[in-house]
């Protein structure tokens, strides 16, 4: 099994693909990130504090070190050549709606940033607003 994963990993690198789909996750090989990609990302919405708590308490594929992504991390999975949804093709589960980041607005701390995956644009809104949640973790600790 490890040999097959290594072959797929090598083919993806040779083809210039930075992403690898795995069960319930998408691996960003270049950025060393593992993204949640299961049905929950299309079903669960929450305000910003609950979104952070959800990721912090998530256990997925045996990992417990999930977090709400920064706005920069979330923008990295946007595919600007696509619309509806504007997300990398390796992601199976997506709503064409808003997904929270953990990045607060520097001017108004009651606001935080999110990405709208219909177009891939970023916005900010009140932390009381409900958005979808997609968690991320660092694959390998340094």
In this prediction, residue 17 carries a pLDDT of: 60
In this prediction, residue 91 carries a pLDDT of: 96
CATH of domain 2-138: 3.10.100.10
Q: Decide the pairing of beta strands 111-116 and 98-104.
A: antiparallel
Distance CA 98, CA 129 (A): 10
The runs of H, that is alpha helices, within 39-83 are: 48-57, 71-76
- Which stretches of the chain score pLDDT less than 70? 1-17, 141-142
Backbone angles phi, psi at 37, to 5 degrees: -145, 75
User: Residue ranges of the domains in the chain?
Assistant: 2-138
Among candidate residues 114, 88, 94, the one with its CA nearest the CA of residue 29 = 88
In this prediction, residue 140 carries a pLDDT of: 74
């Amino acid at each position: 099994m490890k040999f097959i994963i290594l072959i797929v990993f090598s083919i993806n690198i040779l083809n210039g693909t930075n992403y690898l789909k795995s069960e319930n996750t998408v691996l960003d090989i270049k950025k060393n990130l593992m993204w949640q990609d299961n049905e929950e990302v299309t079903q669960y919405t929450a305000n910003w504090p609950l979104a952070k708590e959800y990721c912090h308490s998530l256990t997925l594929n045996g990992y417990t070190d999930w977090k709400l992504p920064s706005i920069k991390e979330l923008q990295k999975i946007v595919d600007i050549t696509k619309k509806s949804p504007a997300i990398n093709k390796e992601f199976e589960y997506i709503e064409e709606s808003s997904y929270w980041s953990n990045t607060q607005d520097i001017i108004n701390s009651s606001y935080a940033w999110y990405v709208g995956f219909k177009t891939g644009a970023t916005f900010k809104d009140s932390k009381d607003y409900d958005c979808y949640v997609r968690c991320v973790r660092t694959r390998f600790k340094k």
